[in-house]
Structure 1
């Protein structure tokens, strides 16, 4: 039996896995048979997929040579099992950033640099960047293509699910305790997170740059193929469960009016422009982006003193758009064009 188009999804027992299965139910992709895999301790559940319950098989007992592509959602499993998948002749899609720092592995956002997949052959590895990078670049790409780019300044406002399930649970517990007149337990955080803002995500380097900020800057430069691009990032954790917001200011090479930028963004794949100077005329992570497939853009404006400076507000569903949809879109391209 041919394995063309057959896919194994590894590490489905988490927030990203749950979201990815929902997206698979709602969209058509060029996949054949789909196998759900996880380590033995987490296997055996029966999530719904394509209208039917499907058992999560044990990774340790699965013959990877049965499939054409292995998609990893867990960085520990990607690190531990990617070599075996490559040895079995599979394409490997790292949807959790385990190989994002390897310069030999293409780092791909489906709407931005699909041409990077041309270097991939059977037994190769492709990586997807973090959801913040996806959000930034999906909105940035059409403007860069038109007017070039000199620099970017980004502030992210990230929900707990951008960090992990433990943080989501800790925020829920803190919120419940505070609303019931009890002191908040820090749990997964250094300080109280509920009803607060935490201006650091990850460890700091000698210059005071956090690991999240460094990763965002590095991956934006790499995907745009602008290794010397000045990127200043500040990543903040906010007390919401899902969704992600950014304020981005870019300085283009050529002058770009806000009106022209709006036209470009309306036509861009994966972007939804909501930019009206009226009540409710700008997008928010919860009310607009959650559960949708787009990066939403609003508050688009040009600096009155700097004709090459454009600012905007971006929101998206970090798990759906930033992880699941990008990973599945890249997998779809791999199966259609690179098997």
Structure 2
């Protein structure tokens, strides 16, 4: 976001909105003016940001012409109705919902990957902050382009928060029932989620892939020059509340050993490497990623047979790194 821009956030009580507010409260991002909005039935409360008590105003009364940037952290239906109005008022509009995730005509930006090259050629209008899994994967793949990325296989292990607040609440309910010896049904999920792994996220496609896997591959190709690079994705829903883990296997044109690969990744501002041959010398979604501003990388390995094949493990807070920081 441009320094000291007049900023509005729509949807501050959503999980993404809460993370945006937390980042602003920490003072990492500056703004000349800030307004918070929710639809009328959810407006009226107050939030503390930077020591100031700020009222949540009714979206229906918003004057978007006051702002340079409007962020929509809302459900798709709200974005569909109100984001075009903010665009018409001359704003940069950044949407985090699913409304335009699959619309290739709307620019999709990952801050540390394609924003610097894409933004200068754009007029004010609508932008999409991609799915959190796209951001996490792109931050790893981007530095690999310099080594001649030939193919990537990614398995995502996604927490319940990637599916929304209702999924979190449903898993908490299932967990409580099971710990008390009570039976559970799938409910919100196709099958039991608590103490289980669900190897398909979203609808099944005709080719056997899932909607989540298709979205990750399509998103990566929108933000990076990967049209001719084979991508294989498996998306798994895991019984963790926050954070996502990726197991990444890469085929490169150049051989890169473990130390060189770690050095390459450390040059990415958003990345921290924890890869030590000692107890606990690897990152996890809970111990390193949750509530943190970095993408953590560990378990870096070079294939014993083909030195041009490498593997690694990455974790990130899907809400904070995958959406909120990328949006701001």
Q: Is 2:134–2:219's contact at 8 Å kept on the other side of the alignment?
A: yes
**Alpha-carbon distance in 2 for matches of 1:17, 1:112:** 23
Moved more, 67-76 or 313-322: 67-76
Gaps of at least 5 residues in structure 2 are none
Residue 17 of structure 2 corresponds to which residue in structure 1?
A: 17
Give the counterpart of 1:119 among 118, 121, 125: 121
Gaps of at least 5 residues in structure 1 are 329-339
Residue 336 of structure 1 corresponds to which residue in structure 2?
A: none
Normalising by the residue count of structure 2, what TM-score does the alignment of the two structures yield? 0.95
Tell me by how many angstroms 1:226 deviates: 2.0
Tell me by how many angstroms 1:208 deviates: 1.2
Secondary structure at the aligned position of 1:54 is classed as strand
Q: Is 2:150–2:230's contact at 8 Å kept on the other side of the alignment?
A: yes
Secondary structure at the aligned position of 2:175 is classed as helix
Tell me by how many angstroms 1:97 deviates: 4.2
Residue 286 of structure 2 corresponds to which residue in structure 1?
A: 286
Structure ranking higher in strand proportion: 2
1:172-215 deviations in Å (ceiling 9; x for gaps) = 01111111111124221111111100111100111111110001
Tell me by how many angstroms 1:105 deviates: 2.1
Residue 245 of structure 1 corresponds to which residue in structure 2?
A: 245
1:57-91 deviations in Å (ceiling 9; x for gaps) = 11111111111111111122221112111111111
**Alpha-carbon distance in 1 for matches of 2:207, 2:186:** 27
Secondary structure at the aligned position of 2:65 is classed as helix
Residue 258 of structure 2 corresponds to which residue in structure 1?
A: 258
Q: Is 1:10–1:77's contact at 8 Å kept on the other side of the alignment?
A: no
**Alpha-carbon distance in 2 for matches of 1:70, 1:284:** 33
Tell me by how many angstroms 1:253 deviates: 2.1
Question: Between Structure 1 and Structure 2, how many residues are aligned?
Answer: 323
1:79-158 alignment to 2 at 5 Å?
79-114=80-115, 115-122=117-124, 124-144=125-145, 146-158=146-158
Secondary structure at the aligned position of 1:53 is classed as strand
Secondary structure at the aligned position of 1:157 is classed as strand
Residue 311 of structure 1 corresponds to which residue in structure 2?
A: 311
The answer on 1:299 being equivalent to 2:292 is no
Residue 326 of structure 1 corresponds to which residue in structure 2?
A: 326
Q: Is 1:212–1:235's contact at 8 Å kept on the other side of the alignment?
A: yes
**Alpha-carbon distance in 2 for matches of 1:137, 1:143:** 10
Residue 209 of structure 1 corresponds to which residue in structure 2?
A: 209
Tell me by how many angstroms 1:265 deviates: 1.1
